[in-house]
Amino acid sequence: MDYKNLLVEKDDNIAVVKINRPELKNALNLPLLESIGKAFDDLEKDTEVNAVVLTGSDEVFCAGFDMNTVMDLGQGKMQKVDIIERAFLSILRYPMPVIAAVSGPAIAAGFDLMVLADIRIFSETAKVGQAEIRWALTPLNDPLWKIIGMGRAKEVTMTGRIYGAGEAKEMALANYVYPVDRYLEEAKTLARKIASFDRNALKANKDQTNRIPGMDTEAAIRTQIWGFRNFVGSDEMISRMSEFLNSGKNQ
């Protein structure tokens, strides 16, 4: 498919979605946001893809919204803001795992994109933060607080601070940090490992991890046991367990 300022490449059962607006530090404008929404919608229909890596370049993941775009939102803002919402939700709702591979700045809306992913892999050059408060805007607190806790999320959103890769890992915002020449390949390697698992189980796991944080503990346990009930004893489960037992790896 042809997307504006976005490259989508399939590699066996993973896909790499690359933000490609280098002349403006991968800043988000409306055409690029529409492309993100369309790309994830298209990938949802592709049953060969079991995991997605969302990335930018080695120099910059995404510097946030194109400021000219934001300043123009006042005219017809409802329709234009809907485009932003659709792009963000297309990542959150994408039923398979999404790994954000982040190098260089991921600021404001760029920060939001990577937070909407399920797993985040940083290069050592990553610089991340929610700068919206500097511009009299409100940032996304959810799902950020579910990842790093409400206290730390309030600090991130209220101060507009920029954090390096090491500090981001300490607060559990980054799952892993690698040198800049390895971070993307490490993200792809992890995506391939995840994508090798049963597609239906991956979808069910992501669905329940998105839903259970808003439940009380009993409802969450019931939801998860119900999911387990749907898969236990399946042909796929028996096949994979038998293969493992016969391989000798359990010794």
What positions carry a catalytic annotation? Answer: 132
State how far the Cα of 20 lies from the Cα of 222, in Å rounded to an integer.
43
Tell me the residue ranges of DSSP E strands in 141-209.
163-164, 176-178
CA-based nearest residue to 148, from 133, 135, 161, 137: 161
CA-based nearest residue to 50, from 244, 190, 175: 190
Apex 200 CA angle, 218 and 245, nearest 5:
95
State how far the Cα of 184 lies from the Cα of 182, in Å rounded to an integer.
6
CA-based nearest residue to 98, from 223, 195, 31, 176: 195
C-beta separation of 40 from 88 below 8 A: no
Cis peptide before 97 (omega within 30 of 0): no
Cβ neighbour number for residue 193 with a 10 Å cutoff:
11
State how far the Cα of 46 lies from the Cα of 40, in Å rounded to an integer.
10
Q: Which residue has the tokens 């920029």?
A: 162
